[in-house]
Structure 1
Amino acid sequence: MAATTSSTSPSPGPEPGPGLGSEPGPGPDQNQTGTRTRTRTGTRTGTRTRTRTGTRLQEEAARGAAQAGEAVVELFPSSGTKRHQSTSRTLGLFLSEESFLCDDELLGAGPELLEAGPELLEAGPELLGAGPELLGAGPELLGAGPADGQDSDSEDSEDSEFSGLEDSGSDSDSDLDEEDDEEDEDEEDEDESEGGSEEETVKETVKETPEDAGDSEVPLQQQQKHDEYEHDSSDEEDIRNTVGNIPMSWYSDFPHVGYDLDGKKILKPIRTKDELDQFLNKMEDPDFWKTVSDPQTGRDVVLSEQQVALVKRLQKGQFGDVDFNEHQPSVDFFSSEVMIHPVTNRPSDKRSFIPSLLEKEKVSKLVHAIKMGWIKPRRSEDDTRGRYYDLWASDEQSKTRDLRMHVPAPRAPPPGHEESYNPPPEFLMNDEERALWEQQDPEDRKLPFVPRKFSCLRQVPAFERFIHERFERCLDLYLCPRQRKMRVNVNPEDLIPKLPRPRDLQPFPTTQALVYRGHEGLVRSLSVSPSGQWLVSGGDDGSVRFWEVSTGRCVKKVEVGGAIKGVAWNPNPSLSLAAVAVASQVLLVSPPATAADKQVVTVTERLLAEEAEPDAGEGPVVWSNAEGEELLQGIRVKIQHPKAVSMVTWHSKGDYVAVVMPDHSSHLQVLIHQLSRRRSQNPFSRNKGLVQSVAFHPIRPYFLLATQRSIRVYNLLKQELSKKLQSNAKWISSLAVHPGGDHVICGSYDCKLSWFDLDLSTKPYKTLRHHRKAVRSVAFHRSYPLFASASDDGSVIVCHGTVFSDLLQNPLIVPVKVLKGHVTTHDLGVLDVTFHPSQPWVFSSGADGTVRLFT
């Protein structure tokens, strides 16, 4: 009896190559990691054998040795129990039960065969040398097979590399082998240099297959025997890396890429190519463009022509199979034939007639959810949404809509008496009216024609502009839009806001009490002392006058030698001082001795007697003490500026004074002087626009600066712009801040007074247009909810402005009184206005050279 073994030697002998040659097998350090049951049994590390001739020699040698009772030894460098079982099972299929061992006996004889491995290995070359003789005796041995009761090989040729281990009785295996052989040829493009002779040998073997299958008869027992591996897929048996379908990035930090079938590590290939080597490889290797890297093994794989064609088809959006027809007619295999009985006559189960408990529980949960409001029913979607319309089709609804919304054209007005051929005399024009009518524009004329008089109708000539008039009528009909105006019956009294009566808002000034006369020119500015007992005024006559409020007596007069642009009394009650802006100087003038207590005068003198700091004299501003005649008049300190000063204002604490020098070409438009240290500073390195007025915030460290069109609020602590108020005015003239600090009013030369709520918006909360001419000055009362505005129309309008502590309630603004008394001179009226600090009185100065008190 012949014995069949599967060699597990780590160092197998040479295996047959093309043309009975031999190729060196894998060395000891090369692992054979995978086998194929029907298609591949060769080594994965060495050069793979492509020819089928050596395999056929082994098959003939095996059959001849079996008939002669000799031991058949096959030298397959395979490792593992799987190859041993596959070899034993495959050989057992074509060895008869009477003469040879079956599969079970082969498995039992495995250990003995493994011990005889070295001897069988030495006998390998002799068996290979006897290949031609055994090949010649093959047909005789195969012809005698059926007579002796042996299994004959129905298909002598297989498309795998080692077909001697294949199940020759399975037709399906032959088909699978052909497909696998095509895959082998696609994967093994690296051996193209030797591929010519090998492909010819494969083709000859494939051509001999049907002849051999036709000569031999398959026994009935072999046909009925079912192959359990018929439908198995062996595509993954050739994969050396057995880690499975996992991300290969997990092995990025390891020197290996996985494990083979023996559990040994598969090392990563050494990548020593730099950019130059890759460039040379790209230029010299013709297969560089179709070479990809296998992530499982890390090796470079050259794609075959079939794989390249498959990739191109997939890139074009085509099917991978060329022969696939997506438009082939479908075969109605189910309903094409009328069946008498249903598909199955199996009776229905009893449980199909019983309601499902799971469905009952699900329905009860849904009902409970709907009752609790957790699930809301779907709303019916609007049918108009998602509906498409034909733009060019006739729409009946549009026609009815046009009829419903039709607005008839207004009729032409009927002719009047002026169009008569014999109009009344009052409709006829004289020479002056006709000359005036001809000078007017056609749009401004009341009549488009000149009325004429004729004695009779037949003397009326033809109308020359008849066609032109009809043309204009047609233009009006189709160019002028028509609109239906719905008449709303509104009571006019409802449109008037409900305001409180002025007598309920008293006290406020109503009548003129005193007139302070003495100035010979324009009185441009005035200011009241903190106590309310004294008043200072300045005008174009170059004099500063101090008045007693209650009597109207001029207590003191100071000549400064120039037109005075502004005066301001220090608001600090502990200081008795007034600032006067004249030309490019700011003079600090002390009031008369009777205007303050001796203690206040002493403190003021001590403050003004302090010497300036060493760096105070440097820069554009020069501080100096008055001497001689100026000192006798009451001038204490002079502050020299580079430009003309137009305005001066004090801080509420009385230590800082701000001046304005409007000039587009200079960045020194605003300066702030500190009286106690005699220092001056420029808070703005660059000014956007021409500065008109400035003001200190009464309670917060804010500084308000008014330009021609906007008001900027700066935070002095953070040194940044806090807000920018848009006045919607063409030219702002004056500025005032509410004592509470949350509201600002500004007057403009375009007859507007704007009220700003700093907490509400940057736009005006209310705009008043009560004056007919430019607004020159605005002012707030310190304690009463009053504010006033002075205009060139010669009037002072006093308004009641109530500010509520509730931020949700808007301020209530009510004009209460229009005060008149000043005479307009050279188109100038009232130039400045200010309130008494404690009484509801208002002072005004005008272009007529007078100062008036209204109480």
Structure 2
Amino acid sequence: LIVLAGHEGFVCSVAFSPDGNRVVSGSADRSVRVWDAKTGAQILPAIKGNQSIVCAVAFSPDGIHIACGLGDGIIRIWDARSGDEVRLALRGHEKEVWAVAFSSDGTRIVSSSGDKTIRVWDATSGTEVLPALRGHENSVGSVVFFPDGTRVVSGSDDHTIRVWDTSTGLQILAPLRGHDGVVRSVAISADGTCIVSGSHDKTVRIWDAISGTEILPALRGHGDAIRSVTFSPDGSRVASGSSDNTIRIWNISSGTKAPLILRRHSASVESISFSLDGSSIASGSIDKTIRIWHTGTESTILPTATGTGHKGAVQAIAFSPNGTRVVSGSIDKTIRVWDAKSGAEAIPSINCPEGTIHSVAFSPDGSQIVSILKDTTVRFWDASSGDEVIPPLRGHNYLVRSTAFSPDGEEVVSGSQDMTIPAWSVDSDVEAIPPVPDYVVRSIASSSDGTRILSGS
């Protein structure tokens, strides 16, 4: 489980890039953020050119562009590599844009809104391809293209799901009825044969995309409204996110088999997305975090603060370079190293009576762990034994917020609220370069060639 934290408001929407290497998120803080799906690091500075809440985000099929739907009815397109706006905003909706999606060939964008309409846009020119699709009697919260681009499916607050022809704008089927509440999310299987819908009536329903009939009995188990649904890439599973703070993964071949339940969010799960290979799920929540889950088994979830692990809030977490271990630091004054597959502790806990652990990281070869403690020291530990490798690094006069190894593992840079950024030699425990003055430093990183340091303050 990887937690991506940085938004200052609840997360409304998340999506994987087509290659699965990045995650985009949109938030009530009006920003769009792009993250590395493996490390959890932010790839770009937050995109903050929006004047309203970001309700929906989507990558283009080539991963180059990001579309976002805003609370002011506008759609904006951004370059996913630079964060620059690539064309004029798409205007036409009169209320919030709740959903946006690209066609599989990337030439069109479909959007749905609180104004009860669905609109189809030319992704290059930004012009509308069709007159607005009208028929829903209430806000349209979700819309997505079929894989072949010839149809779109929409879900609405009027409790119905509708299928539309994208060449004529006409409804192909009679409205799909069965839900007793708002239909908040719809998705299409990769082969275009099935539709999944999630509703505030707490059920997930699977529909035949040709006939409009239900394939399975309604999937029940969530304790509150369902906010997001999606198919796995192979179509064998459906994931649902709910206001009950959980994600459930359903095996639709069995239908009635008990789902896998993922529990870690502390508030409603508003958006979920499978990675391209189906091995991971990204989720966004009102708790202001994005989490990345490995979907094979629940054993990838580490023991909780009330179990055999940490006895207090976990302040920091990081994967080893080969992905087999996870290190965590807590306000319980311990550092723990875990097997990433089984969730078992790999070594005895490392006790740090000097105070809360604010940051942890593995060295590039995975042999050492660097940690930041509340007492302003930077400490190094043997990742196999838990023994302290060198004496604590001292020099900061105030809380140290972030640390990072150089790519060769020979130096560590640290950033502090004392407004300095020194670099330390790991072997000699002395400063390799003098402290760099700055404002309060909250985050730092080293470039891949080790020649530059990036700081955030």
> For this structure pair, what is the TM-score category when the shorter chain's length is used for normalisation?
0.5 to 0.7
- The code of the aligned residue for 2:113 comes to M
Q: Which has the higher helix share?
A: 1
Distance 1:688 1:844, change over 3 A: closer
2:190/2:235 contact within 8 Å kept:
no
Aligned mates of 1:723, 1:642 — CA distance in 2:
25
Distance 1:761 1:659, change over 3 A: closer
SS of the residue 1:639 aligns to:
coil
1:566 counterpart residue number: 56
1:672 counterpart residue number: 120
Instruction: Please point out which of 235, 238, 244 is paired with 1:793.
Output: 244
Distance 1:688 1:794, change over 3 A: closer
Aligned mates of 2:241, 2:228 — CA distance in 1:
5
Deviation at 1:760, TM superposition (A): 5.8
Q: Structure 1, residues 104-143: CA drift from partner, whole Å, max 9, x if none?
A: xxxxxxxxxxxxxxxxxxxxxxxxxxxxxxxxxxxxxxxx
2:184/2:200 contact within 8 Å kept:
yes
Distance 1:760 1:815, change over 3 A: farther
SS of the residue 2:163 aligns to:
strand
Aligned mates of 1:841, 1:832 — CA distance in 2:
14
- The code of the aligned residue for 1:554 comes to Q
1:729 aligns with 2:180: yes
1:660/1:694 contact within 8 Å kept:
yes
1:831 aligns with 2:283: no
Instruction: Please point out which of 16, 23, 35 is paired with 1:547.
Output: 35
Instruction: Please point out which of 152, 166, 177 is paired with 1:703.
Output: 152
Aligned mates of 1:551, 1:709 — CA distance in 2:
39
1:586 counterpart residue number: 75
Deviation at 1:558, TM superposition (A): 1.0
Q: Indicate the structure whose relative CO is greater, using CA pairs within 8 Å and at least 6 residues apart.
A: 2
| Greater C-alpha radius of gyration | 1
Distance 1:699 1:822, change over 3 A: same
- The code of the aligned residue for 2:109 comes to V
SS of the residue 2:213 aligns to:
coil
Q: State how 1:461-480 maps to structure 2 within 5 Å.
A: none
Aligned mates of 1:543, 1:798 — CA distance in 2:
29
Q: State how 1:774-789 maps to structure 2 within 5 Å.
A: 774-783=225-234, 785-789=236-240
Distance 1:833 1:764, change over 3 A: same
- The code of the aligned residue for 1:562 comes to S
- The code of the aligned residue for 2:263 comes to K
Instruction: Please point out which of 284, 299, 320 is paired with 1:845.
Output: 284
Q: TM-score, length-normalised on structure 1?
A: 0.32
Distance 1:815 1:700, change over 3 A: farther
Q: Structure 1, residues 711-748: CA drift from partner, whole Å, max 9, x if none?
A: 22223346543212222322211101111111111011
1:729/1:752 contact within 8 Å kept:
no
Aligned mates of 1:649, 1:729 — CA distance in 2:
26
Distance 1:641 1:514, change over 3 A: same
Distance 1:813 1:760, change over 3 A: farther
Aligned mates of 2:234, 2:22 — CA distance in 1:
18
1:441 counterpart residue number: none
Deviation at 1:771, TM superposition (A): 0.2
Q: State how 1:678-693 maps to structure 2 within 5 Å.
A: 678-684=126-132, 686-690=134-138, 691-693=140-142
SS of the residue 2:47 aligns to:
strand
- The code of the aligned residue for 1:576 comes to I
Aligned mates of 1:672, 1:726 — CA distance in 2:
24
2:196/2:204 contact within 8 Å kept:
yes
- The code of the aligned residue for 1:674 comes to D
Q: State how 1:165-314 maps to structure 2 within 5 Å.
A: none
Aligned mates of 1:680, 1:831 — CA distance in 2:
28
**Percent identical across equivalent pairs?**
24
1:641 aligns with 2:92: yes
Aligned mates of 1:770, 1:816 — CA distance in 2:
9
Distance 1:550 1:686, change over 3 A: closer
Aligned mates of 2:52, 2:165 — CA distance in 1:
35
Deviation at 1:783, TM superposition (A): 2.9
Aligned mates of 1:692, 1:678 — CA distance in 2:
21
1:816 counterpart residue number: 259
Distance 1:519 1:772, change over 3 A: same
1:752 aligns with 2:203: yes
Deviation at 1:838, TM superposition (A): 1.6
Distance 1:736 1:784, change over 3 A: closer
Aligned mates of 1:748, 1:588 — CA distance in 2:
29
2:104/2:149 contact within 8 Å kept:
no
Distance 1:717 1:589, change over 3 A: closer
SS of the residue 2:23 aligns to:
strand
SS of the residue 1:721 aligns to:
coil
Q: TM-score, length-normalised on structure 2?
A: 0.59
1:656 counterpart residue number: 108
Aligned-residue RMSD, C-alpha: 2.1
Deviation at 1:759, TM superposition (A): 4.9
Instruction: Please point out which of 210, 221, 237 is paired with 1:770.
Output: 221
1:726/1:763 contact within 8 Å kept:
no
Aligned mates of 1:698, 1:688 — CA distance in 2:
23
Deviation at 1:684, TM superposition (A): 4.4
Aligned mates of 2:13, 2:85 — CA distance in 1:
18
Distance 1:720 1:840, change over 3 A: same
Aligned mates of 2:292, 2:217 — CA distance in 1:
28
2:16 counterpart residue number: 528
- The code of the aligned residue for 1:712 comes to R
Q: Which has the higher strand share?
A: 2
Give structure 2 stretches of 5+ with no counterpart: 295-457
Distance 1:815 1:723, change over 3 A: farther
- The code of the aligned residue for 1:716 comes to T
2:118/2:134 contact within 8 Å kept:
no
Q: State how 1:135-146 maps to structure 2 within 5 Å.
A: none
Distance 1:542 1:701, change over 3 A: same
Aligned mates of 1:768, 1:777 — CA distance in 2:
14
1:842/1:853 contact within 8 Å kept:
yes
1:731/1:749 contact within 8 Å kept:
yes
Aligned mates of 1:781, 1:823 — CA distance in 2:
24
Aligned mates of 2:250, 2:168 — CA distance in 1:
35
Aligned mates of 1:702, 1:843 — CA distance in 2:
26
Aligned mates of 1:584, 1:543 — CA distance in 2:
16
2:237/2:249 contact within 8 Å kept:
yes
Deviation at 1:816, TM superposition (A): 3.5
Aligned mates of 1:697, 1:663 — CA distance in 2:
23
- The code of the aligned residue for 2:154 comes to L
SS of the residue 1:578 aligns to:
strand
Q: State how 1:495-510 maps to structure 2 within 5 Å.
A: none
Aligned mates of 2:133, 2:43 — CA distance in 1:
42
1:651/1:657 contact within 8 Å kept:
yes
Distance 1:555 1:688, change over 3 A: closer
Aligned mates of 1:799, 1:532 — CA distance in 2:
21
Q: Structure 1, residues 419-476: CA drift from partner, whole Å, max 9, x if none?
A: xxxxxxxxxxxxxxxxxxxxxxxxxxxxxxxxxxxxxxxxxxxxxxxxxxxxxxxxxx
- The code of the aligned residue for 2:47 comes to V
Q: State how 1:801-812 maps to structure 2 within 5 Å.
A: 801-802=252-253, 812=255
Distance 1:813 1:532, change over 3 A: farther
